[in-house]
Structure 1
């Protein structure tokens, strides 16, 4: 059953034996507002999630949805699963949580579930950390889940990326001699210069090529934003990949973005673990069901957030700026210049005004 650990006390234990390599698969997935009333198919999410043993989830909007996902996984796999969710984090009225989700036969939570205190207020959404162990081998891994702020440009993201080097060092103190992984949606490709500080600390990205955000064109992906940065030379990384779930579920990209997520999950295997991501069989999804157009003057914040170039903060700004007489009126929103408004219009997602 779900377990919720908020701000648990951290104990630094010295003199532990060096961590070895267990046999588990670890994934991370931005589930695009998991818990909002957005038509998400939890059964399809579970079909993909069963492929890994331990997950770091971002964009969790309601802990009850994680509980639902956990129950769906138990029904699907016939195994026991557990989860825990952070408190909500975020500087503005828009806030979200992180969750860890794991297969009990393979993974066990050990200690240290805590949201980073962030003394310098460097993160818009402070990372969520915890330590886990392989049930069979006893080998441990320390996790930090993070969702880097998107902002208006890459320059808005780089300060948080550089600050991850501090998180990396802090994890060494809190989870001594335990291999570390920072997992999540970084909104920045791993080859950007801002990552150099983390690289200098011995971290490396599991995914170095390809892309994880779904474009509107089937089979095409736009950006390599989702990743797992791990202790190179310490963690026994035996494989990693992007899970192109639309192919596994037999869905178009449009439908995948509508009922699952606009991000593909990524995973890393440790030791002798093998991923178990398989094609879906025996479930029918209505591919022809087209989501209704989005009315700028009536749509909820969650619906507005589905538009390109519009995140949660801009969705709230759009609501505050109503009414709109034409789509060009979106240029009144901070950060939405003519080029970005043209992207929104060309998406065909906005109702005629």
Structure 2
């Protein structure tokens, strides 16, 4: 009797999982059961889609990936964290937005990602910001940096930009890194803006002063900006020599997929100043088909974006 019940349970789980990853499945299945099973088992297809996703131009270049990992905290399973690890393991620096601030699991999951990366053959270190000084605990988040210690040294302590705390809902997280091979330093600003319908441009307009404030021409601004690189608010940076890594590249996922159209908005990007030499950029799209959208959204409603570059001496 026990064996029979166990076999039936396995068959039921496999059946519901098939429904969750199949775009032709009927909607009569319980959404709660689908969600529970999908959280336990990610579709093998999106795992397979990570393989050979990015081919870099140079082994000597720096590779940065920026990712808004939706609600990175206690809701993320070990399987999902393992997926994230495999998605970013080939980069040198990871900038993460939307780390949960109101529960310690947010910081714990960042540490778990770093631990997973350390098992991939390189040594990694990480820093997590304090909760942002936001109007409410619900709006507050943390940021994180994770980096390969063989490629980069951190210079000083990263910090939330307190000068913008009264002007921005989630003030940026700023860090300075030094490239070990050439002893060249650069700054990175990690940012998650207010919602797209709440005028994120009134936050972004402050970024044009960073070159003077940080006394550098080696600056990267990465994150989720909730508006595209075409918005006129970026003109102040473009006039200073900044460029956007991505152009006309959708980076968010729709809730539903029709005719294989699952991408939504062009809002995640990496902006870089004139002493950063562009080599390659892109969106890591591990979805590819409607069948994979539900599993992909368990990770995040955003896809990771990256920039490969060198630095002028």
The answer to whether TM tops 0.5 is yes
Deviation at 1:219, TM superposition (A): 5.3
Structure-1 separation of matches of 2:92 and 2:154 = 12
> Deviation per CA, 1:104-130, whole angstroms, max 9, x where unpaired?
121221225111112571110010101
Q: Quote the residue 2:237 is aligned against.
A: 198
Q: Which moved more, 1:97-106 or 1:238-247?
A: 238-247
2:264 to 212, 218, 222: 222
Cα RMSD of the aligned pairs, angstroms, is 2.2
Contact 1:23 1:134 in 2 (8 A): no
2:125 to 78, 82, 86: 82
Deviation at 1:168, TM superposition (A): 4.0
Q: Quote the residue 2:207 is aligned against.
A: 164
Cα 1:51–1:204 change in 2 (3 A) is same
Structure-2 separation of matches of 1:83 and 1:120 = 23
Aligned length: 241
Q: Quote the residue 1:52 is aligned against.
A: 91
Structure-1 separation of matches of 2:128 and 2:230 = 30
More strand, by proportion? 2
Contact 2:165 2:171 in 1 (8 A): no
Q: Quote the residue 1:299 is aligned against.
A: none
Structure-1 separation of matches of 2:81 and 2:150 = 22
> Deviation per CA, 1:222-272, whole angstroms, max 9, x where unpaired?
11111111013x111111111112349x971111102x1111111111139
1:256 to 293, 296, 300: 296
1:125 to 170, 173, 183: 170
> Deviation per CA, 1:21-70, whole angstroms, max 9, x where unpaired?
x7210110000011132447100000101121101110011111100001
2:114 to 70, 82, 87: 70
Q: Quote the residue 1:345 is aligned against.
A: none
Structure-1 separation of matches of 2:288 and 2:181 = 33
> Deviation per CA, 1:153-194, whole angstroms, max 9, x where unpaired?
1x521101212213343223xxx45x1001100000000112
Deviation at 1:139, TM superposition (A): 2.0
TM normalised by structure 1 equals: 0.64
Unmatched tracts of structure 1, length 5 or more: 1-21, 273-353
Structure-2 separation of matches of 1:43 and 1:219 = 27
TM normalised by structure 2 equals: 0.72
Cα 1:38–1:80 change in 2 (3 A) is closer
Secondary structure of the residue that 1:246 maps to in structure 2?
A: coil
Cα 1:101–1:119 change in 2 (3 A) is closer
Secondary structure of the residue that 1:130 maps to in structure 2?
A: strand
2:225 to 158, 179, 186: 186
Contact 2:164 2:171 in 1 (8 A): no
Q: Quote the residue 1:92 is aligned against.
A: 136
Structure-2 separation of matches of 1:254 and 1:157 = 28
Contact 2:282 2:307 in 1 (8 A): yes
Q: Quote the residue 2:75 is aligned against.
A: 37
Q: Quote the residue 2:54 is aligned against.
A: none
1:246 is the counterpart of 2:287: yes
1:236 to 268, 274, 277: 277
Q: Quote the residue 2:159 is aligned against.
A: 114
Structure-2 separation of matches of 1:119 and 1:192 = 21
Structure-2 separation of matches of 1:168 and 1:193 = 19
